[in-house]
Structure 1
Amino acid sequence: MDDSTLEVLLQSLKQADEYQRELATAALWQRWFYQKGEGGNQRLQDAQALVDSGQMDAAEDLLSTLVGELPDFAEAWNRRAVLYFVQKRYAEALADCEQVIELVPYHFGALHGLGLCYAALGQYEEAIQSFRRALVVQPYALVNQRLILECTAQLS
């Protein structure tokens, strides 16, 4: 996918037409999962299967190996961040989200995850900033709007 296609997808996330936003969202997720081809995607799917069967340590090992072998594979970092978040290992999840954003600054999933991590750590101002960054990419993401309100309420 070339840069012009990427720009079209990013602009589509900002359209009023919900169908266009959904298509762009799906296309971006596919781009991220398949960044390293079918083999990279399959390893992400294998890690998710391990998570789904409760084998968290094995999933972490697989994802850690993947980010070690392919440090520019943003979705591998993102999947490990999700795993850490589910395990309530928020500082580690935060670090992995930051790595994703370094690689893919418009990764709305990682921007949202960053906000969730900060909120879980009670760092509500940072959470609000992260959710706002996610809204720059996906202005119609109601979940981020709602989370900004929830975090704002925590500050008062």
Structure 2
Amino acid sequence: MNEQLINALLEDLKNPDEDVRNQATEELWRIWFQQKGQYGFERLERSQTLFTAGNVKQAEALLTQLIDDLPDFAEAWNRRAVLYYLLGEYQKSQADCLEVLKLNPVHFGALHGLGLCYAALGQYRAAIQAFRKALAIQPYALVNQKLILECTARLS
């Protein structure tokens, strides 16, 4: 991945102009999804199609195979984390989010997902930390600000 481009896009996430932020967000997702070329991208799309059609086990198997084939493909880990989260398997999702962050420490989606997992498990302090890390990358992400407030309220 082009480190200069990534750094410029990360800076754009902090721009007061919403259009600039939205373009940067879209471009980062595009780069992350296409990190492993057409093969990786097509597998991610196929897994999403399977999941949407209700073929959850097939979607999970496809993502697991993709991770086995390309263990450094952060977005494959992230997509499986999303799948696990949607199934209510928060510890599995959490583990996959942590793998994403080892590979891509600025993956705001994985930080957000990690926060959601911690919150779902009642670990509100850890959730707040994850949402704050996501906010450091995407300071205008209102959803993370809202979730920090919700988790803080649950602590009192």
Please report the TM-score for the alignment, with normalisation by the length of structure 2. Answer: 0.99
Distance between the aligned counterparts of 1:63 and 1:7, measured in 2? 28
In the alignment, the residues of structure 2 paired with residue 65 and residue 140 of structure 1 have an alpha-carbon distance, to the nearest angstrom, of 35
Question: For residues 13-45 of structure 1, what are the alpha-carbon distances to aligned partners after superposition, in whole Å with 9 as ceiling and x for unaligned?
Answer: 001000000000000000000000011101000
**Which residue is equivalent to 2:104?**
104
Say yes or no: does 1:95 pair with 2:118. Answer: no
CA RMSD of aligned residues (A): 0.6
Aligned to 2:148: 148
Equivalent residues in 2 for 1:132-147, closer than 5 Å: 132-147=132-147
- Residue 12 of structure 1 corresponds to which residue in structure 2? 12
Looking at structure 1, the residues matched to 135 and 22 of structure 2 have their Cα atoms a distance apart, in angstroms, of 15
Partner of residue 119, structure 1: 119
Q: Which runs of 5+ in 2 are unaligned?
A: none
1:64 and 2:64 aligned: yes
What letter corresponds to residue 106 of structure 1 in structure 2? V
Distance of 2:38 and 2:65 partners within structure 1: 17
Identity among equivalent positions (%) equals: 59
Q: TM-score, normalised by structure 1?
A: 0.99
CA distance in 2, matches of 1:93, 1:113: 8
Shift of 1:103: 0.3
Cα drift, residue 47 of structure 1: 0.1
Partners of 2:4 and 2:47 in 1: CA distance: 32
Give the AA of the match of 2:92.
E
Q: Please tell me the residue identity of whatever aligns with 1:37.
A: G
Partner of 2:39: 39
Q: Secondary structure at the match of 1:60?
A: helix
Provide structure 1 residue ranges, at least 5 long, that are not aligned to the other structure. none
Runs of 4 or more consecutive aligned structure 1 residues displaced over 4 Å after TM superposition = none
Question: Per-residue deviation at 1:5?
Answer: 1.1
Deviation at 1:3, TM superposition (A): 1.6
How many residues in Structure 1 have an aligned counterpart in Structure 2?
A: 156
2:27 and 2:37 map into 1 onto residues whose CA distance is 15
Q: Deviations over 1:111-152 (max 9, x none)?
A: 000000000000000000000000000000000000000000
